[in-house]
Structure 1
Amino acid sequence: MDKLTAAIQEVAEDYGYKRLAAAVGCPYQVLVNQCNPINDRPISLRKFWLMFSITKDMRLLVAFLDEIGAVAVAKGKRDEDASLFDLVVNHQVAAGTVAQVIRQALEDGLITAEEARDIRNAIRAEIDCLTALESELMEMAEPRLAKA
């Protein structure tokens, strides 16, 4: 079973098929059948989106994006106390941390599950620094004037 189908089933089971069916406006048994991986009429994109809108369960979005080879990145939040320069420096420090963590992980020529987790955490911290920087830049940017 693919990750997307598995995520749809897990979310439907966790939320409750009956409750979810009522929320998306379809009979209970129809939803159960559509979530079944061997059914030839799988859940529609519209119903998938309704499921996500109702449950707000990120497992659905993560599995969908994984299927198409993409990832989601949360929008950065502005740090009222940080200057643009601070945010640039924060990003550079985070980038250096990623390199350092990778270098340490590769010292023995193998990357363990724990080292992979550490690398992933360092990368995500760098992404957070970049999105905070982007958020600050967007806030600072002068609004474009409408053409007359």
Structure 2
Amino acid sequence: MHDQTLKEEIEEFYNYLQGTIRFDQLSIPSNNYDLMLDITVTADLQIAWSYYYVCHDARCLFWLETYDASYMISERLGVKSPAHVKHRLEALYWNHWSLFPAVFNDRRVPLDAYDELMGILLYGCVESSTLPYDDDTMRRMIQLVQGAKGTPVCVKKKRIADL
């Protein structure tokens, strides 16, 4: 990070969250997670911290404290019942994946997600009226998913000395 002030603010924010975990004796439900930190400057020139955790095992977002996520799970976004909340959080999880597909070396999409996706694609081939793709596009998608299963999302970076 090139901006030293921003670097120090991010480190202070991270240390605050770590302190919250220790002080409140919280535990992260899995070791398979990402932490997303964001720092913005408000209209009145105050620094605002925001964050979320991404649990890859449960495929959802979570926070350390009670969080008002009503704007993320509103009826306007299709969330009309409590049963929809899990689906919305999973959609936000996959949105995180699309924004940050390669966080570290050898990161993989969970294997059960491939099986789930394959089931959706195969169902789409049988009941083609539910998806907006023709048969050739569906076959290509199936081949891509079959080829990608178990493949790392990113390639290990080589050190300059190895080039």
Length-normalised TM-score, structure 1: 0.25
Structure 1 or 2, whichever has the larger Rg, is: 1
Length-normalised TM-score, structure 2: 0.23
Structure possessing the higher relative contact order (Cα contacts under 8 Å, 6 or more residues apart)? 1
Structure richer in strand, relative to its length:
2
Structure richer in helix, relative to its length:
1
